[in-house]
Amino acid sequence: MTKKVTLRSGLLLLVCIIAVAGAGCRAGGSNTNAYETHDFAMGTSITQRIYGGNAQQAAREVIDEIKRIEDEMTINKPGGEINKLNNSAGKAEIELSEETIYVLEKAKHFSSLSGGAFDVTIGPLVKAWDILGDNPRVPGDEELESLLRLVDYRDIDINREAGTASLKRPGQIADLGGIAKGYAGDRTVEIYKKHGIKSAFVNLGGNVVALGRKPDGSLWKIGIQDPRSSTGDYVCVIEIEDKAVVTSGDYQRFFEKDGKRYHHIIDPKTGYPANSGLISTTIVSDLSIDADALSTATFVMGLEKGLELIESLEGVDAVFITDDKKVYATENIKKVLTFSGENRGYEYVEER
Amino acid sequence: MLKKGDLVLTAVLLAVALGASAAIGVYRNISSGLGKTAVIKHGSQVIKRVDLNKVESPQRLEISKEYKQVVLIEEGRIRFEESECPDKICVKTGWLSQMGQTAVCAPNRTMIVIEGEPEEIDGVTY
């Protein structure tokens, strides 16, 4: 009898200890020291959250680095390496930095891998539409047809050993807009590591890269935005560590003309904004540059071909949302995905 | 005797634990309630800092940078109310009321952030 009661008391005591410890943990969670900054670069907002290490200096270095990459890789303002290449299209081979060669090679690789659904030579079409620029317009069919002939990633010749590259024909334009932000994400993580930082998170206008885990040992929780709602609502949450997450969608950047909406992801085959039935494609991978190119590629390819491509790649996962509000995910990501879109009319298709 | 003693001891411990738990909870609520600061920025420069819990009557803040915008500040919440920017993503974002929430206008290089670590998720991809 006595023994029984002592046992029960012991159990209750344990409950009490857990209750106190639990309360303590919750209170402690908000006290971990995060250094957070918000800046603008690459035409978007950049949020960094860094735990420990030399956070402030690392954050500043990251912004300087992102601005430098933007200067080298944008075709929206003069100067920079990529413009050098484009200005010599059809004329000469150009010496480029190791970095630009690396990004160009990646871009060409994913152009080829996606059968041209992502095409790094899409520049002439992007310029004609100017969807992200000051004077967006709908180009005529004839104009598009002639520009389409300039789009062919096989016309980029890259010689890594010599550090040179060239575009075959005059008028061709390499556009790293679909991959440079991804590259910047990878560089950001390298800078964090250099400063001895083990836990950090960066969001480059929707391109997320997470380094390590959170200081309390938990995984980073990343929401995938509801493509048919205002910013901030999400359809599902995925939990990650040491991964890049990039989403392409038709809803963030677009312009409207005569009541019709034209989004910014141009299909290199048609010359028009992609219309594959997908409205949001999210790629999760080790490298942000890969995720960036693949999110665009699969957005253009559509559900079936997109899933097929992602499933053929090691260590790459995806979450796709179709225009009839169905959410699909690859096997590995299903394990860390929490669906929460049912209230907003989404359906999670777990078995295809 | 032993039985009674055990019960008393358990009751005391439980009371202490619950009390401590509640006290920490209350403290946490107070401290998170105290620090709800919204920051309005242009580029890297802070335009205004406001404690959302100390807003007595709604305020309108006009921003005249590349594009004109109006920020509406109420008790406990803040938003971009109007904007002449092309995409209006900032306005569509709606009200911000929780720590870690942001509204961004990329064309105008402005943003509103409620300082503090987000409670539900760490970030959103879009």
Q: Which residues of A318-337 are buried (b: 16+ CB within 10 A; e: fewer)?
A: bbbbbeebebbbbeebeebb
Token pair belonging to A32: 């971990």
| Interchain contact B8–A (C-beta under 8 A) | no
Using the predicted structure, report yes or no on whether residue B27 has a pLDDT greater than 60: no
Q: How far is A75 from chain B (nearest CA, A)?
A: 17
Q: What is the pLDDT of residue A26?
A: 39
Round the average pLDDT of chain B to a whole number and report it: 82
Question: Which residues neighbour A350 within 8 Å (Cβ) at sequence distance 6 or greater?
Answer: A329, A334
Structure confidence by residue, pLDDT tens digits, B37-68: 999 999 888 999 999 999 999 999 999 999 99
The SS3 call for residue A325 is coil
| Interchain contact A215–B (C-beta under 8 A) | no
Question: Which residues neighbour A323 within 8 Å (Cβ) at sequence distance 6 or greater?
Answer: A277, A278, A279
Token look-up 């048609």 returns A270
Mean pLDDT by 10 residues, chain A (352 residues): 56 53 41 81 92 93 97 94 97 97 98 98 96 88 96 97 97 96 98 96 94 96 88 87 95 84 94 96 98 98 98 97 97 95 93 82
**Could you give the angle at the alpha carbon of A27 between the alpha carbons of A21 and A28, nearest 5°?**
85
| Interchain contact B32–A (C-beta under 8 A) | yes
Q: Which residues pair with A262 in a beta bridge?
A: A255
Which is it for strands B123-125 and A220-225: parallel, antiparallel or unpaired? Answer: parallel
d(CA A83, CA A172): 11
B residues 41..70 contacting A (CB < 8 A): 41, 43-44
Chain A residues lying within 8 Å of B93, measured CB to CB: 230-232
Q: What is the pLDDT of residue A94?
A: 96
Q: How far is A220 from chain B (nearest CA, A)?
A: 6
Structure confidence by residue, pLDDT tens digits, B7-22: 676 666 666 666 666 5
| Alpha-helical regions (H) of chain A | 2-29, 55-73, 81-87, 98-113, 123-129, 141-148, 180-194, 288-301, 303-311, 331-334
Largest CA distance in chain B: 81
- Closest partner residue to B10 among A9, A38, A237, by Cβ? A9
d(CA A266, CA A274): 5
Residue pair A42/B39 in contact (Cβ under 8 Å)? The answer is no
Question: Which residues neighbour B17 within 8 Å (Cβ) at sequence distance 6 or greater?
Answer: A15, A16, A17, A19, A20
DSSP annotation string for A128-170? HH-TTSSS-----HHHHHHHHTT--GGGEEEETTTTEEEESST
Residue pair A252/B126 in contact (Cβ under 8 Å)? The answer is yes
Token pair belonging to A61: 């270095």
Q: Which helix (H) or strand (E) holds A193?
A: helix A180-194
**Contact A38/B113, CB-based, under 8 Å?**
yes
Quote ipTM for the complex.
0.71
Looking at residue B75, its amino acid is E
Phi–psi pair at A83, nearest 5 degrees: -65, -35
Structure confidence by residue, pLDDT tens digits, B65-120: 999 999 999 999 999 999 999 888 899 888 999 888 889 898 899 999 998 777 78
Q: What is the pLDDT of residue A268?
A: 97
Residue pair A191/B93 in contact (Cβ under 8 Å)? The answer is no
pTM: 0.82
Q: What is the pLDDT of residue B124?
A: 84
Chain A residues lying within 8 Å of B3, measured CB to CB: 1-2, 5
d(CA B77, CA B7): 48
| Interchain contact A56–B (C-beta under 8 A) | no
Q: Which residues pair with B109 in a beta bridge?
A: none
| Alpha-helical regions (H) of B35-92 | 89-92
- Closest partner residue to A221 among B13, B113, B122, by Cβ? B122
DSSP state, residue B44: T
d(CA A195, CA B29): 35
The SS3 call for residue A311 is helix
Token pair belonging to B8: 């008393």
Residue pair A39/B44 in contact (Cβ under 8 Å)? The answer is yes
Residue pair A223/A271 in contact (Cβ under 8 Å)? The answer is no
**Could you give the angle at the alpha carbon of A221 between the alpha carbons of A218 and A223, nearest 5°?**
175
**Contact A231/B126, CB-based, under 8 Å?**
yes
d(CA A42, CA A178): 12
Tell me how crowded residue A313 is: count the other CB atoms within 10 A of its CB: 15
Q: What is the pLDDT of residue B102?
A: 87
**Strand order across the beta sheet in which B123-125 lies:** A337-339, A234-240, A220-225, B123-125
Q: How far is A39 from chain B (nearest CA, A)?
A: 6
d(CA B87, CA A107): 28
Q: What is the pLDDT of residue A117?
A: 98
Q: What is the pLDDT of residue A14?
A: 55
| Interchain contact B94–A (C-beta under 8 A) | yes
d(CA A38, CA A49): 9
**Could you give the angle at the alpha carbon of A56 between the alpha carbons of B89 and A99, nearest 5°?**
75
